[in-house]
């Protein structure tokens, strides 16, 4: 991996998680984004170009959405 871009609405949780991860993974650029992921989010570009992109979205969060809204959210990702 060349970069990690977590998206979190809580700035405190976001910075805390990046602060804990960064020392363990110094070779991975940390690019935290404080935003509401249910809306379009511009993502920062990594300094090194990645060969591919991986998106991880914890499925338990989908339970907070109506079925149609969950499908739209996943399709937008």
pLDDT tens-digit profile, the chain (77 residues): 999 999 999 999 999 999 999 999 999 999 999 999 888 899 999 999 999 998 888 778 888 899 999 898 888 88
Number of domains in the chain: 1
Report the SS3 class of residue 14. helix
Partners of residue 8 on adjacent β-strands: 34
pTM for the whole thing?
Answer: 0.82
Helix (H) or strand (E) holding 74: helix 67-76
Closest CA to 41 of 55, 22, 60: 55
Joined together, the tokens standing for residue 43 give: 């993502």
Domain span at 12: 3-41+55-76
Q: State the Cα–Cα distance between residues 45 and 47, nearest whole angstrom.
A: 6
Is 63 contained in some domain? yes
Is 46 contained in some domain? no
Is 33 contained in some domain? yes
């Amino acid at each position: 991996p060349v970069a990690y871009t977590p998206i979190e609405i809580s700035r405190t949780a976001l910075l805390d998680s990046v602060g804990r991860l960064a020392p363990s993974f110094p070779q991975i650029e940390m690019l935290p984004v404080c935003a509401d992921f249910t809306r379009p989010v511009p993502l920062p570009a990594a300094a090194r170009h990645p060969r591919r992109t991986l998106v991880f979205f914890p499925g338990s969060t989908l339970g907070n959405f109506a079925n149609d809204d969950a499908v739209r959210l996943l399709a937008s990702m």
